[in-house]
Amino acid sequence: MGGRLLNKVALVTGGASGIGAAHAQLFAGAGAKVLVCDLQEELGHTVAEEIRRNGGEAEFFRLDVACEDHWKAAVADAVRRYGTLTTLVNNAGAFSAGGVEVETDEGWARLVAVNQTGVWLGMKTAMPELLKSGNAAIVNIASIYGIIGSPGAIAYHATKGAIRVMGKSAALEYARRGVRVNTVFPGVIKTPMLGDVPEEALRALEEAIPMGRRGSPEDIAYASLYLCSDEAKFVTGGEFVIDGGSTAL
Ligand SMILES: NC(=O)c1ccc[n+]([C@@H]2O[C@H](COP(=O)([O-])OP(=O)(O)OC[C@H]3O[C@@H](n4cnc5c(N)ncnc54)[C@H](O)[C@@H]3O)[C@@H](O)[C@H]2O)c1
């Protein structure tokens, strides 16, 4: 397979579902070898199988992004299978709607562990292999709610805001060492993450989006595809908002 990500080896977290699955499929279609990482084994295997059926290269690896030992094993697996690691998409994430007085200690700790510590552990563990490759890219998936506020979801806002500055800091640290780091900020996207939100509330959410609809997982993955390709070789520390105009309001 030819394509914009030829010779790239990508590790995608949260790859079993939604935005992560779209990354895995699009990246493989563009020529990358993809390690689909997630806690959801059955769905993750299905994503990898579908990629292989379509002529791409992908395998599933069970990874809890909050666990450093899992990360070490996942990175080692990618290198053992494909010889290198050039590309990391830190996409796995969890949501909690709890506001300032409602969020629990456990809920707060879980979101920090998955959304914030998970992104740091991913960058930390993958970095030695990314540096060895000499031409690598990391994309961290935040949220527009890491830039702007909304009532409630205090832990989600906190962790997504943290991803924003972690990306800038890492981008500066590695700017001259062959690893680019960028952050993508999705607006409201049609994925299972909003599965529990009642239909009426979803319609209200869509009505508030200037384009009048939610985005698709592919809308986000196309931005990462550019950022992980050599077309973006001068792009690091960047912020890419993909939200149908929501933050332009
Ligand atoms: N859907 C939206 O509207 C939206 C908006 C902004 C940002 N995002 C972000 O996009 C990313 C992907 O979300 P999505 O909408 O595709 O949701 P999703 O629920 O479809 O996918 C999230 C995936 O992450 C996995 N995951 C959760 N915790 C994990 C862990 N500890 N280790 C490994 N995998 C784990 C889940 O199993 C799931 O497959 C998240 O970081 C989310 O915060 C989503």
Break the chain into its structural domains and give their ranges: 9-243
Return the ligand 1 atom nearest residue 145 CA: 6
Give 228 Cα–ligand 1 centroid separation in angstroms. Answer: 19
CA distance 4 to 226: 8
List the residue whose alpha carbon is closest to atom 38 of ligand 1. Answer: 14
Judge contact between 220 and 141, C-beta under 8 A: yes
pLDDT above 70 as % of the chain: 99
Q: Shortest CA distance to 35 belongs to which of 16, 17, 10? A: 10
Amino acid at 46: T
Ligand 1 centre to CA of 140 (Å) is 12
Check residue 223 and give its pLDDT.
Answer: 98
Total residues belonging to the chain: 249
| Residue tagged active-site, from 82, 156, 174, 226 | 156
Q: Is 93 in the pocket of ligand 1 (CB under 6 A)?
A: yes
pLDDT given at position 28: 98
Quote the mean pLDDT of the chain: 97
Q: What is the pLDDT of residues 34-45, one digit of tens each?
A: 999 999 999 999
Hey, is 234 helix, strand or coil? coil
Residue 1 confidence (pLDDT) above 70:
no
Q: Measured between alpha carbons, how far is 62 from 43 in angstroms, rounded to an integer?
A: 11
Q: Mean pLDDT, to the nearest integer, of 81-96?
A: 98
Give the model's pLDDT for residue 163: 98
Tell me which of 3.40.50.1000, 1.10.3720.10, 3.40.50.720, 1.20.1110.10 is the CATH number of domain 9-243.
3.40.50.720
The preferred substitution site among 42, 148, 191 for testing ligand 1, maximizing ligand atoms within 8 Å of CB, is 191
Indicate whether residue 117 lines ligand 1 (CB < 6 A). Answer: no
Residue 2: predicted pLDDT:
59
Is 174 designated active site?
Answer: no
pTM of this prediction? Answer: 0.98
As a whole number, mean pLDDT of residues 219-230 equals: 98
Residue range 111-167, pLDDT digits in tens: 999 999 999 999 999 999 999 999 999 999 999 999 999 999 999 999 999 999 999
Please tell me whether residue 232 adopts helix, strand or coil conformation.
helix
Give pLDDT tens digits for 182-204: 999 999 999 999 888 889 989 99
Q: Report the separation in Å between the CA atom of 92 and the middle of ligand 1, taken as the mean of its atom positions.
A: 5
